[in-house]
Amino acid sequence: MVKILISNTTILTLSSKHELIIDNGYIFVNNGVVESVGKGEIPEEYQYPELLLSGKGRLVMPGISSGFTKIATYPIRYALPYVSSSDINEYLSVLTRTDVYYASLLAFTDLLYRGVTTLMISDIFLDDIARAANDAGLNAVLAPPINIKLRDYDPLHELKLIMQRWHGRVNNIYGGIAVYGGLDEEVLRTINEYDVKSFFIGFKELASLSNLDRNRLVLIDPYVDVVDGWNVVRTYRTLGLWRSIQGLGIGDLFTYDLIDVSKELLRLGHKGLDLLFSITTVTTSTLGFNDMGCIEEGRKANLVMLNLSEPPGWPLLNSVNALVNAVLTGRPKVESVIVGDNILVDGGEVLSIGNDLIKKASTRLEGIIKDLRIKGKLMF
């Protein structure tokens, strides 16, 4: 296991055990866990790591989490606002498992460049998305949508694959259940059969959930204002109802950027620190990753290093409001991403997904989209 030291950096801890901001600080990671966080001179026992990252002019913060994400539609994301549901279903119906794996690698590359390390994903062929997430080094909860009608898609089979191959067998990849629409007997039976989190998307009738364990439930974009006691994640679709105790997700927003979601809430008058806390600690905890979410000893390393030594991030100012504004509005470059003892991004380059694989995936999916358009199956 690699011992990693980040030295001489500014740290936005989002922790209650440390100062919110540590200037001239260091972080020592051992065996994938943050062993020490401090300020000033580095103790002798941490001065000889296997990997040293200089943090001068950089800001280190927790990795960003998306509480609801679509992946398979990533290759047509820019057209999604103008595409009918039948076009989307036509596109999804021709994708093979290999296609979805490659689409996932492209999406995960984009997300890593934006500092996203943790995701809840509800989509088709989640077994293959799980493989891509594992290859990319991301934390993920895979929740098959169990009551949607899509040709040749068996959600219960997909759920069984996730549980048999990934849940509890591979670090930080878990299964879940996504529920669209009502709570019928089949849905209830499936929820009771599997000891995983259930995500209710666009739900209105909260009273019907009263007999279920709230600790295992997450409401995604409920079209009602939700009182305390419920785990809630909102995307751009219901931002007007967001509260600071709730998480946030990308959904199918074509930019695949939680900073865009946060900036909309800034315009609605919400505080930047609440938003940053939401897209890191709150959402991460809501998804069940309780060993991450902030930077403190004993937590799994989940670190994003931003370059504030030059525009657009520059200057690095040692105040809470300035740093929060830099993250949410300055668009600083993501220079490094560390999850556990794996360095996923370094020097602004994704290491876990090679350029050759990205080119192969792009070529394959471009061909599928072109073929569908030639056949008149896609109207964009």
CATH of residue 68: 3.20.20.140
Same domain as 72, residue 23: no
Residues 174 and 313 in one domain: no
Residue 142 and residue 238 in one domain: yes
Within a domain: 243: yes
3 — phi, psi (to 5°)?
Answer: -95, 125
**Who contacts 149 (Cβ-Cβ below 8 Å, separation ≥6)?**
none
Q: Which residues contact 154 (CB under 8 A, 6 or more apart)?
A: none
- For the chain, the residue count is 380
Residues 95 and 224 in one domain: yes
Each residue of 262-312: pLDDT tens digit?
Answer: 999 999 999 999 999 999 999 999 999 999 989 999 999 999 999 999 999
293 belongs to a structural domain? no
Q: Name the residue among 166, 234, 227, 239 with its Cα closest to residue 196.
A: 166
Could you tell me if residue 365 is inside a domain?
Answer: no
Whether 150 shows a pLDDT value over 90: the answer reads no
Assess if residue 150 is contained within a domain: yes
Residue 370 lies in a domain: no
- List strand residue ranges (DSSP E) for the chain, in order: 3-12, 21-30, 33-39, 51-54, 58-62, 64-69, 116-121, 139-142, 173-180, 197-201, 217-220, 232-234, 247-248, 302-307, 333-339, 342-346, 349-350
Query: In terms of domains, do 267 and 182 share one?
Result: yes
Least confident interval from 149-153, 178-182, 218-222, 345-349? 149-153
* One domain, residues 281 and 318: no
Sign of CA dihedral 231, 297, 69, 137: negative
Report residue 150 as tokens.
């899509």
Regarding whether 88 and 58 lie in a shared domain, the answer is no
CA of 379: how far to CAs of 92, 94, 183, 308, 366, in Å?
15, 16, 34, 42, 16
| Residue % of the chain over a pLDDT of 70 | 96
> Which amino acid is present at 161?
L
Q: Are residues 311 and 340 part of one domain?
A: yes
What domain count does the chain have?
A: 2
* Helix/strand/coil for 264: helix
CATH code, domain with 324: 2.30.40.10
Within-domain flag for 15: yes
Rounded Cα gap, residues 282 and 274, in angstroms? 10
- Would you place residue 23 in the very low, low, confident or very high pLDDT band (cuts 50, 70, 90)? very high
Q: What angle do CA 77, 146, 88 make, to 5 degrees?
A: 25
Average pLDDT over residues 226-245: 90
281 and 345 belong to one structural domain = no
Q: Mean pLDDT of all residues in the chain?
A: 90
In a domain? residue 296: no
- pLDDT tens-digit profile of 101-113? 999 999 999 999 9
Query: Do 231 and 327 lie in a common domain?
Result: no
Same-domain status, 131 and 183: yes
Q: Last residue of a domain, which of 234, 259, 286?
A: 286
- Indicate whether 321 belongs to any domain: yes
Which domain, by its residues, includes 7? 3-62+301-349
Shared domain for 57 and 68, answered yes or no, is no
Closest CA to 191 of 122, 134, 144: 144
CA distances from 71 to 122, 157, 165, 182 (A): 8, 19, 20, 24
